[in-house]
Amino acid sequence: MPTGGKKNLWKDKPELYRYIRWHIRNPLSDLGMYYVGFAGKKYKKLEVLNTEHVEINLKKLNKCPLYFPRYSIDLAGVFNFSIGWKKRGCFGLYLKR
């Protein structure tokens, strides 16, 4: 597992050590290979709450009994927070102060 041009970096380490270090170091890179969401699928949008600062809505895929929520808080110029499935169907997390 040479990285950054360093050869034989892991050669003298035990197999278990290398396995554990690889999976501790690399979890986010591995997650980048997976798709989370339902882009391109048909869904129905149900608005639960829609005020000036708070928005809560649910998305339900056709032929699926589950609802996918999206929560959004927008305090203009102070704080923005959003978590859930976006308009195009991809999961997102957004936090800005």
Give the model confidence (pLDDT) of 14-41 as tens digits: 888 888 877 777 665 555 555 566 777 7
Query: How confident is the model over 42-74, as pLDDT tens digits?
Result: 788 888 999 988 999 988 888 888 888 889 999
C-alpha to C-alpha distance for 92 and 87, rounded to whole angstroms: 10
Name the more confident of 28 and 80: 80
Question: For residue 4, what pLDDT is reported?
Answer: 54
Name the more confident of 5 and 68: 68
Tokens of 30: 């591995």
Answer yes or no: are the C-beta atoms of 61 and 69 closer than 8 Å.
no
C-alpha to C-alpha distance for 18 and 33, rounded to whole angstroms: 22
**Over the chain, what HEC string results?**
CCECCECCCCCCCCHHHHHHHHHHHCHHHHHCCCCCECCCCCEEEEEEEECCCEEEEEEEECCCCCEEEEEEEEECCCEEEEEEECCCCEEEEEEEC
Question: For residue 91, what pLDDT is reported?
Answer: 80
Question: For residue 1, what pLDDT is reported?
Answer: 46
Question: For residue 34, what pLDDT is reported?
Answer: 54
Residue 2 predicted with pLDDT over 50: no
